[in-house]
Amino acid sequence: MKRFRLHPWHFWADETGLTCLLIFSLGYFIVLNSLGEFWFGRLAARLFFSLVIVAGVLTTFKQRWLSFLVIVLATASLALNWAEEFRPAACLAVLTNSITLIYLGLLLAVVIAQVFRDGPVTAHRIRGAIVIYLLLGVMWAFAYQVVALSIPQAIRLPEGLTAGDPDALRRELTYFSVVTLTTTGYGDITAVHPVARTLVMLEALVGQLYPAIVLAWLVSLAIMHQKAKP
């Protein structure tokens, strides 16, 4: 009789881990935008984002060739994000956002492969599809921060807010990213520089196309598995 050994990464490599990624991502969005002005809100937001990073590392254990690269990027991202909390500086923020953006890109690719692989449509997969949408919003927010910190006046911010405050910038540009992704467009924050405008256009296109692609995929996959039933 074989002994059963429970490995912690099995949970994350399975579809169940997608649900936890969704919880951590939603926690990050909610806390950052509602309590980000207060010190305890900033700490809580960084904690939720750290959980997203750690959960992403555990999710990639199935892809052995990715594990080493992901662990290195995740460690660097975690260290820089917390260093930025205690020693805020524009140059450090650019480095932090750039490395985190690369890491999130790898995590996004892994989650996409997990969600869109062949198999039955489950609640965890649907939650994973929502995680992809949220990760897209977070990635573009980090991209906007890199542009705003690197190119002066690239993004017109609300009055009283400057790119010299990385915490406030992250909060405002995360809000701007979600508004752009959902093509709401209130106009309180606008892209001025061509690079920033290009990012905005790409995010708006993805925000329109992604829900349609996911809906079509879910319907076709459900029909295919319904026909496969005896």
For 54-67, the pLDDT digits (tens) are: 887 777 656 566 67
How many angstroms separate the CA atoms of 195 and 111, rounded?
27
Helices (H) and strands (E) in the chain, counts: 8, 2
pTM listed for this prediction: 0.86
Question: What mean pLDDT is predicted for residues 174-197?
Answer: 92
Amino acid at 105: G
Per 3-state DSSP, what percentage of the chain is helix, strand, and coil (rounded to 5)?
A: 75, 0, 20
In this prediction, residue 63 carries a pLDDT of 58
- The maximal CA–CA distance of the chain, rounded, in angstroms, is 69
Question: What mean pLDDT is predicted for residues 110-114?
Answer: 84
Q: Return the minimum-mean-pLDDT range out of 32-36, 173-177, 203-207.
A: 32-36
How many angstroms separate the CA atoms of 202 and 107, rounded?
20
How many angstroms separate the CA atoms of 164 and 149, rounded?
8
